[in-house]
Amino acid sequence: MQPVLINGQWRDSSGSDSFQAENPATCELLPDVYPVSSWEDCDAALEAAVQAAEALWQLPGTIVADFLEAYASRIEERAEELVEMAHLETALPKSPRLADIELPRTTGQLRQAAAAARNGSWSLPTIDTKTGIRSVYRSIGPVCVLGPNNFPFAFGSISGGDFAAAVAAGNPVIAKANSSHPGTTRLFAEEAQLAAEQTGLPAGTIQLLYRMPHADGERLVADPRIGATGYTGSRSAGLSLKAAADARGKPIYLELSSVNPIVMLPGALEERGAELAEEFTGSCLMGTGQFCTNPGLVILVDGEVTRTFVEAVTQGFQDAPVGTLLSRSVQTSLQSNLSILLEAGAQLLAGNTSVEEDRCCFANTLLQITGDQFVAAPETMQTEVFGNSSLLMVASSTEQVCEAIDQLEGNLTGCIYSHTGGEDDADYDRIAPRLRQRVGRLLNDKMPTGVAVSSAMNHGGPYPATGHPGFTAVGIPASLVRFSMLQSYDNVRSHRLPAILQDANPTGETWRLIDEQWSQAAVG
Amino acid sequence: MQPVLINGQWRDSSGSDSFQAENPATCELLPDVYPVSSWEDCDAALEAAVQAAEALWQLPGTIVADFLEAYASRIEERAEELVEMAHLETALPKSPRLADIELPRTTGQLRQAAAAARNGSWSLPTIDTKTGIRSVYRSIGPVCVLGPNNFPFAFGSISGGDFAAAVAAGNPVIAKANSSHPGTTRLFAEEAQLAAEQTGLPAGTIQLLYRMPHADGERLVADPRIGATGYTGSRSAGLSLKAAADARGKPIYLELSSVNPIVMLPGALEERGAELAEEFTGSCLMGTGQFCTNPGLVILVDGEVTRTFVEAVTQGFQDAPVGTLLSRSVQTSLQSNLSILLEAGAQLLAGNTSVEEDRCCFANTLLQITGDQFVAAPETMQTEVFGNSSLLMVASSTEQVCEAIDQLEGNLTGCIYSHTGGEDDADYDRIAPRLRQRVGRLLNDKMPTGVAVSSAMNHGGPYPATGHPGFTAVGIPASLVRFSMLQSYDNVRSHRLPAILQDANPTGETWRLIDEQWSQAAVG
């Protein structure tokens, strides 16, 4: 049985249950056995995290930056083993996906977070010399991170965006591994702990539990000792955690399901329909469709060009190779969610068949409904089908497109493809303001699957896509600010202020809002 | 029966119940009769607010700024009547309190909000030229504002900080009057509606309901059409609203109770004990103690100077005139909360007696407990006693002070008074980091009752002082950002971007984060 990481020590879990991950490419259990922690482990981790938070509070952000950079380098040194393990546990291709895309993204993100911790501008230091009041966003306390199954590196609970943001904001992290890739998470935790020791972080800064009973997970995110939680995963589990955290006033940032609607306007299809069919099919089936921002709902207006587009996409889905899914449970969910749509009257264009029995997979599946069907049952028709599948909605008119969009739940992204010469502009202008209110990121003429690590990114959106419409899981400063609290200092003696609020600019490069003007200068 | 303001019209409420406010200085009912709205009123207001939100979305921030400025001027023109009405309904002194302090603060706050709406820097526009992604915080949708009883102007539901912030962020407001000053709220709403018409705001931008059954209030803040809610008031009502809003994923910003601990270190008392006793007594009894940031818990270390301080404060409480409370229900709560502390063993130093029967008031009351009593029953000992009362906790040692502070709930403010020559510095350094984590605003050598409208202000704090530790009810930008959502634009054609994200700087003075640098320049 693998040990858990608590208070800087790899030690036996107090739990007696265990689990093993499965290789989705063979449907065979992997050999390593991982513990299901009892509350005793959670409690010990919380205790250590509180101590670590107090110690971190006294340390400069440069130490956290040193840690994040050392950790990124250690990840690169162990890249081969990480890629091998993640491939075994998730069946994601080693190259380019894991080795050449996700791993560099992960280390790049850790280094961006390090730069933010070193510079401090993310914390929006604000100085009002007239009133003698100064404020800054500072660490919120121990952060629990629960990562998803689909990005074992870039969104991993001890390597991904939430982890990097929480640590860069000065908080210890209690990571809960995703049960589908515990081995990958363990390798990361080993390197994180070594980097923490190497750079002098307090013992309980980085901790790892693999799994715990649901009730203990809910107790964990609501514990008085927790500062906040970051969660990416299924809606049902996320909303249970949210209810528990909300009841105790504990912030929880959720990234939940999203169907990521795409509107393909007739002018765009007329202009470049074949190209768009190929672009959509590629984006939708990439990574076997297992992206948070996978385009799961395509909104079209009935007509000749739309019919041609639908035919091309159908052909594309039939011709494309069938990727392996992350786990048997992803496959089961995919099939049962497709059934919901089919039972509600969706027409099957391609797929919905088993393919091979000895790996986790299911045929690329394309469904179609009318606009009438959508507006008659909008909730059912927004069932997220996570995996290599999409639903095409063919509306009778732009009017009906608007009506359908007004029924959309909150989503991470929404796209509109339109004619480059402006032929769709009247439709665009009617549709865009409505779609804008329903999504975190609005795109033009581009698939949503790429999520750049950018200061302007919003990888979030209105509920239920996420738990709070003002924050993003990717992009600095907003992703860090989630894991902080606003702390104001009123008439506090100068030498007692945190360095970032004293008159001198602590780095010479930190941006501060001084008397309503952003400045890198010293005060006065 | 007074009409309600829905969709730009003063019209009869659909509700059949009614209420009247009471003059707390005479205990007599005031003549005006106000309706208790049924859900029909709420629903109509929501419908109109949705229309207004869509229209506002298309309008530039300058129109909102024009409105806020016109409204501030109209308030000044009607100042005498507002002051008269508020005095009748709250018994707060006309001068200086209402006319010379609260009214200028209110109009100043509206004008600060106008400047923010005009300039746009509050929305943290962010441009990443390398990825083609741009983001900005934009209006969240209809905001419900429920104001408290203690600041009929500056925190009023249609005139105060939440109102100004929600409107400046581009949202319509559905205001629910506080039942203790419906007439004051009505006068504000009259002027707000006239200013809205004068400056061309959509019809349902400003709406007013006076009261509704609790169940309808909970339904209102959770309605799919609501963007967010701002609430200031009692903890129990606030937490019921929070539970309703949370369950539907609707942001709600609460400012709830706070005992605002003050630590008086021995060196400070030795140096200027008499002066501090006077300062504390004045701050605590000002406005009959009815401030959100009233110092309700004073933490002292046992010793000669502390005993002298306690004697002086006791004398001060006995000698000070007894102010009038805001309502009979405030008096009832005050007395019952004092009983909780007394029954838990607090020692009575002054007060706890009725004074006059024909107005709402109760003797200035001072209680004392030991540190041992506090740490034995920390929850009970933090019972907020809203009004002219305070609780002194005398600890046996600095160690026990720390132990008590570790048991504090989240508070709006926390203060430490220390020796100006540094004699208390060792104690300060032990206490301050602990207190810092429990409060939104940390003060030195200053009473917390003043809440400056400053960009660096945090009038908020950890739960349960407020609902989210990253936001403040006072101060721009954070107070506005609460009522917005983060909207990212990815590859969106330049002319389709909101003006604030296009290459040109829309005002020439708007601060934008362009490629990680804050700038007032155009892009490129």
DSSP string, B423-440: TTHHHHHHHHHHHHTTEE
d(CA A167, CA A172): 6
Section A212-221 average pLDDT: 98
Report whether A197 contacts A66 (CB < 8 A): no
In chain A, which residue's Cα lies nearest the Cα of B422?
Answer: A493
What is the per-residue pLDDT for A524?
A: 87
d(CA A488, CA A43): 31
What is the per-residue pLDDT for B217?
A: 98
Helical packing angle, B103-119 and B61-77, nearest 10°: 160
A54 is catalytic: no
Buried b (16+ CB within 10 A) or exposed e, A379-417: eebbbbbbbbbbbbbbbeebebbbbbbeebbbbbbbbbb
Alpha-carbon distances of A326 from A205, A294, A317, B510, rounded to whole Å? 30, 15, 19, 47
**Tens digit of pLDDT at every position of chain B (524 positions):** 999 999 999 999 999 999 999 999 999 999 999 999 999 999 999 999 999 999 999 999 999 999 999 999 999 999 999 999 999 999 999 999 999 999 999 999 999 999 999 999 999 999 999 999 999 999 999 999 999 999 999 999 999 999 999 999 999 999 999 999 999 999 999 999 999 999 999 999 999 999 999 999 999 999 999 999 999 999 999 999 999 999 999 999 999 989 999 999 999 999 999 999 999 999 999 999 999 999 999 999 999 999 999 999 999 999 999 999 999 999 999 999 999 999 999 999 999 999 999 999 999 999 999 999 999 999 999 999 999 999 999 999 999 999 999 999 999 999 999 999 999 999 999 999 999 999 999 999 999 999 999 999 999 999 999 988 999 999 999 999 999 999 999 999 999 999 999 999 999 999 999 999 999 999 98
Q: What is the number of other CB atoms lying within 10 angstroms of the CB of residue A236?
A: 9
Could you tell me the end-to-end alpha-carbon distance of chain A, in angstroms, rounded to an integer? 60
| Site of tokens 């001072």 | B366
What is the per-residue pLDDT for B524?
A: 87
Alpha-carbon distances of B503 from A433, B500, B507, rounded to whole Å? 21, 8, 12
d(CA A348, CA A193): 50
Q: How confident is the model at residue A449 (pLDDT cuts 50, 70, 90)?
A: very high
A292 is catalytic: yes
Q: What is the number of other CB atoms lying within 10 angstroms of the CB of residue B484?
A: 28
What is the per-residue pLDDT for A124?
A: 96
CB contact under 8 A, A446 and B490: yes
ipTM over 0.90: yes
What residue type is B395 in one-letter code? Answer: A
Residues in chain A, how many? 524
CB contact under 8 A, A433 and B242: no
d(CA B468, CA A210): 29
User: How many Å lie between the alpha carbon of B29 and the closest alpha carbon of chain A?
Assistant: 38
CA within 13 Å, CB half, A194: 14
Q: Which of B22, B69, B191, B255 is catalytic?
A: B255
d(CA A265, CA A427): 8
DSSP symbol at B72: H
Q: Largest Cα–Cα distance in chain B?
A: 73
Sign for the pseudo-dihedral over CA of B115, B118, B123, B127: negative
Q: Is B421 exposed, middle or buried (0-12, 13-18, 19+ CB in 10 A)?
A: exposed
pTM for this model (two decimals): 0.97
**pLDDT (tens digit, 9 = 90+) per residue, A160-187?**
999 999 999 999 999 999 999 999 999 9
Q: Any residues with CB less than 8 A from the CB of A363 and at least 6 apart, and which?
A: A322, A350, A351, A352, A353, A354, A355
Contacts of B463 in chain A (CB under 8 A): 248-250
Contacts of B57 in chain A (CB under 8 A): 433
What residue type is A521 in one-letter code? Answer: A
Q: What is the number of other CB atoms lying within 10 angstroms of the CB of residue B514?
A: 23
User: How many Å lie between the alpha carbon of B496 and the closest alpha carbon of chain A?
Assistant: 9
The beta-carbon neighbor of A488 closest among B410, B441, B470 is B441
Contacts of A511 in chain B (CB under 8 A): 517-518
Contacts of B142 in chain A (CB under 8 A): none
Whether residue A9 is predicted with pLDDT greater than 90 in this model: the reply is: yes
Q: Where are the alpha helices (DSSP H) in A223-303?
A: 235-247, 266-285
DSSP symbol at B146: E
**Of all helices (H) and strands (E), which one includes residue B356?**
none
CB contact under 8 A, B444 and A487: no
Q: Where are the alpha helices (DSSP H) in A59-173?
A: 61-77, 79-90, 103-119, 161-168
**Number of A–B residue contacts, CB under 8 Å:** 192
**Of all helices (H) and strands (E), which one includes residue A298?**
strand A297-301
| Site of tokens 């007032």 | B520
Q: Any residues with CB less than 8 A from the CB of A409 and at least 6 apart, and which?
A: A382, A438, A462, A464, A465
Report whether A387 contacts A364 (CB < 8 A): no
d(CA B175, CA B189): 9
Q: Is B508 exposed, middle or buried (0-12, 13-18, 19+ CB in 10 A)?
A: exposed
**Of all helices (H) and strands (E), which one includes residue A51?**
helix A39-58
Report whether B150 contacts B287 (CB < 8 A): yes
Q: Closest Cα partner for B347 from B391, B311, B307, B312?
A: B391
Contacts of A410 in chain B (CB under 8 A): 249
CB contact under 8 A, A456 and B133: yes
What is the per-residue pLDDT for A324?
A: 97
The two structure tokens encoding residue B92: 């707060």
Q: Is A244 exposed, middle or buried (0-12, 13-18, 19+ CB in 10 A)?
A: buried
Report whether B479 contacts B116 (CB < 8 A): no
In chain B, which residue's Cα lies nearest the Cα of A494?
Answer: B444
Q: Any residues with CB less than 8 A from the CB of B204 and at least 6 apart, and which?
A: B6, B7, B8, B45, B47, B48, B49, B51, B52, B172
Report whether B162 contacts B476 (CB < 8 A): no
Best to test chain A binding among B140, B485, B514 (most A CBs inside 10 Å): B485
d(CA B447, CA B29): 35
**pLDDT (tens digit, 9 = 90+) per residue, A63-114?**
999 999 999 999 999 999 999 999 999 999 999 999 999 999 999 999 999 9
CB contact under 8 A, A457 and B488: yes
Query: What share of chain B in percent tops pLDDT 70?
Result: 100
Report whether B432 contacts B415 (CB < 8 A): no
Q: Any residues with CB less than 8 A from the CB of A323 and at least 6 apart, and which?
A: A285, A287, A288, A289, A361, A388
In chain B, which residue's Cα lies nearest the Cα of A413?
Answer: B488
Q: Any residues with CB less than 8 A from the CB of B10 and at least 6 apart, and which?
A: B3, B4, B193
User: How many Å lie between the alpha carbon of A308 and the closest alpha carbon of chain B?
Assistant: 26
User: How many Å lie between the alpha carbon of B237 and the closest alpha carbon of chain A?
Assistant: 14
Report whether A103 contacts A188 (CB < 8 A): no
Report whether B484 contacts A470 (CB < 8 A): yes
Q: How confident is the model at residue A467 (pLDDT cuts 50, 70, 90)?
A: confident
Phi and psi at residue B491, to the nearest 5°: 65, 20
Report whether A512 contacts A125 (CB < 8 A): yes
> What residues are paired with B175 via a beta bridge?
B145, B208
Q: What is the number of other CB atoms lying within 10 angstroms of the CB of residue B372?
A: 15
The beta-carbon neighbor of B455 closest among A128, A433, A470 is A128
In chain A, which residue's Cα lies nearest the Cα of B252?
Answer: A468
DSSP symbol at A137: E
Q: B240 in helix, strand or coil?
A: helix
Section A375-403 average pLDDT: 97
**pLDDT (tens digit, 9 = 90+) per residue, B243-275?**
999 999 999 999 998 999 999 999 999 999 999
d(CA A281, CA B79): 65
DSSP symbol at A466: B
What residue type is B338 in one-letter code? Answer: L
What is the per-residue pLDDT for B273?
A: 98
CB contact under 8 A, B446 and A491: yes
Q: How confident is the model at residue A257 (pLDDT cuts 50, 70, 90)?
A: confident
The beta-carbon neighbor of B456 closest among A247, A488, A496 is A488
**Of all helices (H) and strands (E), which one includes residue A139?**
strand A133-139
In chain A, which residue's Cα lies nearest the Cα of B445?
Answer: A491
Contacts of B436 in chain A (CB under 8 A): 487
